[in-house]
Amino acid sequence: MIQEYDVEPQIPNQDTAFNSEDVRLLSLFARLQALEREYSIMQGRVEELEHLYQEERNTNRRRFLDMDRRLREQFGAQLAPQDTLTSEDIDTEIGIYRRGMAFLDAEDYVQAREFFQRVVNEFPNGSKVPDAMYWLAELYRNVEPKDLEKSRQFFVQMITLYSDHARIPEAMAKLGMIYHELGNVTRALEYLDRVIAEYPDHDAARLADTYAQELR
């Protein structure tokens, strides 16, 4: 005969199970909050760096514009406005280039771009082609509609074909900056370092050095 015993079934402690799960959830919640705080800090830092980068770009552009002005004064490149051209000059290389400069000074960048492009297209062996290339590169880099790739191409052509031109140090430094804007830091540093090494006494070398230090 089998003896029967009154044995109560073992029921898990619901309070204990609940408390354990609750602790686990609280721990996960705390970790989530910590991650959110870290993300917020990182996001703020990124925004701060973007702001500093934009300020640095604006400062460098102001410096380059000032350098452009001083070089134009030094080399007599402040050209006469369109209304001083004679009818014989207006469709010559110099005439077309001067009209481009007049539109540039008047901040009519679309017209300026068209006339500089005419210089390059119609007078491929002309004396003003490197200057026209320089301004085309500048306009495509800084003025809407922007096209960094076209700007890069014009600077490369200018540096390759007119290595003795007075604006080569500036063009080389700006080409380095464009490569950075295009995401190629290696090529950017290559051109910036060339400016520093080949033109150590030029204003462009000092700007290139400042810019390069930010990339290293």
Side chain identity at 192, as an amino acid letter? L
Q: What's the CA gap between 77 and 70, in Å, rounded? A: 10
Looking at residue 196, its pLDDT comes to 96
Cis peptide bond N-terminal to 130, omega within 30: no
Number of domains observed in the structure of the chain: 1
Number of residues in the chain: 216
Looking at residue 65, its pLDDT comes to 58
**CATH number of the domain enclosing 179:** 1.25.40.10
Q: Which domain holds residue 141?
A: 65-215
The alpha-helical segments, DSSP class H, found in 129-202 are 129-142, 148-161, 168-181, 185-198
pLDDT, tens digit, 9 for 90 and up, residues 82-121: 445 555 567 899 999 999 999 999 989 999 999 999 999 9
Residue 33 lies in a domain: no
Place of tokens 């462009």: 204
Residue 48 lies in a domain: no
Residue 125 lies in a domain: yes
Nearest CA-CA partner of 72 in 64, 62, 60, 61: 64
Give, for all 216 residues of the chain, the pLDDT tens digit: 445 545 455 555 555 445 676 677 777 777 777 776 666 566 655 665 665 666 666 665 565 556 555 555 554 444 444 445 555 567 899 999 999 999 999 989 999 999 999 999 999 999 999 999 999 999 999 998 899 999 999 999 999 999 999 999 999 999 999 999 999 999 999 999 999 999 999 999 999 999 999 998
Residue 18 lies in a domain: no
pLDDT, tens digit, 9 for 90 and up, residues 43-62: 655 665 665 666 666 665 56
Give the three-state DSSP class for 73: helix
Residue 172 lies in a domain: yes
Half-sphere exposure of 121 (CA within 13 A, CB side): 8
Q: What's the CA gap between 134 and 127, in Å, rounded? A: 13
